[in-house]
Structure 1
Amino acid sequence: MSKPKVFVTRKWPASVEAKLKALYDVTLNEDDRPLSADEFKSALQNYDAVCPTVCDSFPADVINVDNKRCKILGNFGVGYNHIDINAAKAQGLVVSNTPGVLTHSTADIAMTLLLMSARRGAEGDRLVRAKQWQGWCPTHMLSSDVTGATLGLIGFGRIAQAMARKAHHGFGMKIVYFKPSPADEYVTDDLNATRCESIEELLQIADYVSLHCPGGEATRHLINADMLNLMKPSAHLINTARGDVVDSAALIEALKNKRIAGAGLDVYEGEPNVHEGFLTLDNVSLLPHLGSATLGTRTAMGEKVLANLAAFFAGDHLPDRVV
């Protein structure tokens, strides 16, 4: 019996690619180059499974391609707003993802950005590299305290809770959060966390606001000019969720006019393109979507995809089925 044909859209950790080669008739992206919509359509027509990542767009016009052979999209990532789920469901195309294995690495990046923004880390690095530092001075590059400050989390899933534990137990931060329904008591008791009745309430009291909500139309530009105007002038915004949750133009204006003190971003609208306005600002720290970028985490994500593919081809229940 021939092996199922599998197409992988980007380069994965070597150990996972080796397992793919052993198990399937696999085509890898050896050059790790971004692929076009036409290439995605061709993959759907010629392979039993296609494994995209969060940087690959699978809208309805791609998914609805004629003469489709593919039966499963084994997504390499937790988020799946780059896939038109309704179109996939209508076409009977199974979609899986990789939850649970990137919690701490992404929470670590959120804390990294919080600290960078609070303590002006990126600005200081640029100053030293440009040989413009004139030496220690009592009033040079004064920044914001983190210990004891209030961290507001919009969304309170696994990653947000992991960040809250690091912030509360490690830095003594006070935790407030917003989600439509209260979190489990054992979680909030451990963190002494308080639920806000609305995002607006959270924005007004938090010293640091960290976004942990999914992307998509429901949350597009959730953080806009009106929301930014509710934040303290001394507050910082951290985004490791999805770029389209934040209105980039509004955030740039808020940072430029010192409406808020700073921001730390790991994700962007239309990435890998980054709004030019961010590049001229000293009070924003920018990372290239590093949330899950540890070897251990990316390997675990690949193993999750392998488990979903194995279950699908065996006719078993998928551990991480989206649709």
Structure 2
Amino acid sequence: MLRRWTAIVRRRAVVSMLLLSLPGHGIGPDLQLESQLPNVAAHSPAARAAKRLDDASPADRARVDATLAAAGPDERPYLIEALAAGHSAEDVVTFARLIRGKRPEWLRTHLSLIDPDGPGRVTYRGSPVRQADDTACGPMTILMARAMTDPLYALNFTTTGSADPSDASVAQFQARLTAEEHRIHDATNRFWPERLGSTPAGVGNELNRHADALGARYEPHVVTGIGGKSGLRDAVDAADSAQPVPVLIGDRIPRHYILLIGRDAADLLVYDPARARVSRISEQSFLDGKLDALRFRHVFAVITPSP
């Protein structure tokens, strides 16, 4: 647990320092981290937040810069992520007031539904964060992908209201989670029967409705035939850049979605919405399209962010 928490703090500190180092946002020393970590910087919340600040009015830019400068080191990365996700200057300022003075553990458990830095159970106040029914794995991967990239979206589930930072009860949390899964399922299955799950195209289309918040548009790729290896490599590259990737797996036929969320040393990390668990898998096994460790033998499709 200590190692995982240290990794979370380190990752979010890098996000914060990256923004401080980007030109035009000098609320800290010029750390030049974007040149040292080009793959992170290209898709990082910091780079996207800096672009949004550049496009903002002078008044909004000044308000956000002042808010970031006044925020504590544990709070600032979440504010950067909120800005990167497309929230307005007013929303970011309000969000900053809401989380001011919160302990790091509160921030982690309320502003990100999943821990992308190590394997383990995924819970809220001890209650498993899993799909609502056997056909909701696709919608759940979409929900978790959004929660990983937008702390205000995650906050909708974990508190009693955007203006009230008190904890949602387990019953409130699960009710909101289920309602959002059903909403997403309806959106991804306009023509495909919901009892058959979600198609990769439907998952991609729903992700693309939130492309600004996610930082990229997503495209489905079938990986079982000729040329499929490139799609698997694209998925790994996205995970290395902290971009979540829905993955369709199965045996003889496609059966289940998981979410590729990052890596732990040489292994990849995946969230399984049926088990409410983050697990390690071998990168080579994934690139070979084989996932025996997750009870299914094959990868059928990936929905990856565009470069």
TM over 0.5: no
Which protein is richer in helix relative to its size?
2
User: Is the radius of gyration larger for structure 1 or structure 2?
Assistant: 1
Task: Compute the TM-score of the two structures, normalised by the length of structure 2.
Answer: 0.26
Task: Compute the TM-score of the two structures, normalised by the length of structure 1.
Answer: 0.25
Which protein is richer in strand relative to its size?
2
